[in-house]
């Protein structure tokens, strides 16, 4: 029962967020600062995650592809495509569930239990438009950017690992990558990024906005937000693959 109750409230929150998204004046300032906090501040960790994923993938793929009849550039093709379609979006999504999701749930949860949300409402503001809308909207803008950063670093990291491990020169790696490159794959990856951004921010806003019970409640909301975000990222990843591929 609890799960249906929660889902109902979650949908209600989203409905109210959509309805109040016309109040640009209320959330404009927060939207800008959220883009910085969600996007710019997350760039280093996302780039790091991307680069290491690309490097590991290259080393492991070349370890698996030992046949002399397969050209070395195939390594580049496999790595680039895996990163663009799946890994850049999912790895950065999981990292951001912790980084962005936990921050949002803590912020909103603290505001809830210290009556700051009541204070916003009591002044005559729409607290959802003030707090939830800018966070979700900022993710629509910034998650694709983060995805592109992660993918670029992943490809760069892969090429570098190929060179350092002596498997193949960078030019060969990139040639393989280009050979099988489809623009559609990028569209697919970007779609995933937007969906994951929505999943993370909407779930974390929901958990934080309805937090109860002091510091302990905020801690619980934060943990739940991060865990649920991860689960729903994986689920929506599967769903998107089934629908779009």
Partner 1 sequence: MIEIKNLKKSFGNNLVWENVNLTIPDGQTLAIIGKSGCGKSVLMKHINALLTPDSGTVTVDGKNVHELSYVDLRILRQRFGFLFQGAALFDSISAFENVAFPLRYFTKWPEEKIQRRVMECLEMVNLENIGDKGTAELSGGMRKRVGLARAIVLEPDYLMYDEPTSGLDPETSDEINDLIIHMSDNLNITSIVVTHDMHSVLRISDYAAFLDEQKLSWYGTIDEMRVAKHERLKSFTKASEYQID
Q: Which residues bind partner 1 (CB under 8 A)?
A: 25-26, 110-111, 114-116, 118-119, 121-126
Q: Of the two residues 21 and 191, which places its CB atom closer to partner 1 in the complex? A: 21
Distance of CA 66 to the CA centre of its chain: 35
Min separation Cβ 121 and partner 1, Å: 6
Q: Of the two residues 126 and 222, which places its CB atom closer to partner 1 in the complex? A: 126
Min separation Cβ 16 and partner 1, Å: 9
Q: Are 106 and 235 in contact (CB under 8 A)?
A: no
Q: Of the two residues 107 and 172, which places its CB atom closer to partner 1 in the complex? A: 107
Q: Of the two residues 61 and 126, which places its CB atom closer to partner 1 in the complex? A: 126
Nearest to 199 by CA among 110, 147, 135: 135
User: What 3-state DSSP class applies to 67?
Assistant: coil
Distance of CA 127 to the CA centre of its chain: 24
Min separation Cβ 115 and partner 1, Å: 4
Min separation Cβ 7 and partner 1, Å: 21
Nearest to 60 by CA among 156, 165, 149: 165
Q: Of the two residues 165 and 212, which places its CB atom closer to partner 1 in the complex? A: 212
Min separation Cβ 25 and partner 1, Å: 8
Residue 175: other Cβ atoms inside 10 A: 16
Instruction: Report residue 43 as tokens.
Output: 């760039």
Q: Which letter does DSSP use for residue 176 in this model?
A: H
């Amino acid at each position: 029962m609890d799960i249906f109750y929660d889902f109902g409230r979650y949908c209600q929150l989203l409905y109210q967020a959509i309805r109040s998204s016309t109040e640009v004046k209320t959330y404009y300032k927060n939207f800008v600062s959220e883009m910085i906090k969600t996007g710019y501040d997350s760039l280093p960790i996302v780039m790091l995650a991307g680069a290491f994923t690309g490097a590991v993938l290259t080393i492991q793929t070349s370890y698996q592809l030992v046949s002399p009849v397969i050209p070395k550039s195939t390594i580049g093709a496999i790595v680039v495509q895996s990163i663009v379609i799946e890994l850049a979006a999912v790895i950065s999504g999981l990292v951001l569930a912790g980084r962005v999701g936990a921050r949002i749930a803590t912020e909103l949860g603290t505001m809830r239990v210290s009556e700051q949300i009541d204070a916003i409402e009591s002044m005559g503001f729409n607290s959802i438009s003030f707090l939830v809308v800018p966070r979700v909207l900022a993710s629509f803008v910034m998650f694709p950017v983060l995805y592109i950063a992660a993918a670029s670093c992943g490809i760069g990291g892969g090429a570098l690992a190929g060179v350092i491990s002596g498997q193949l020169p960078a030019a060969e790696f990139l040639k393989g990558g280009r050979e099988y490159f489809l623009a559609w794959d990028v569209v697919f990856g970007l779609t995933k990024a937007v969906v994951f951004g929505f999943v993370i921010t909407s779930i974390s806003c929901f958990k934080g906005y309805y937090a109860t019970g002091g510091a302990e409640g905020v801690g619980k909301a934060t943990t739940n937000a991060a865990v649920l975000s991860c689960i729903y990222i994986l689920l929506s990843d599967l769903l998107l693959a089934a629908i779009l591929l």
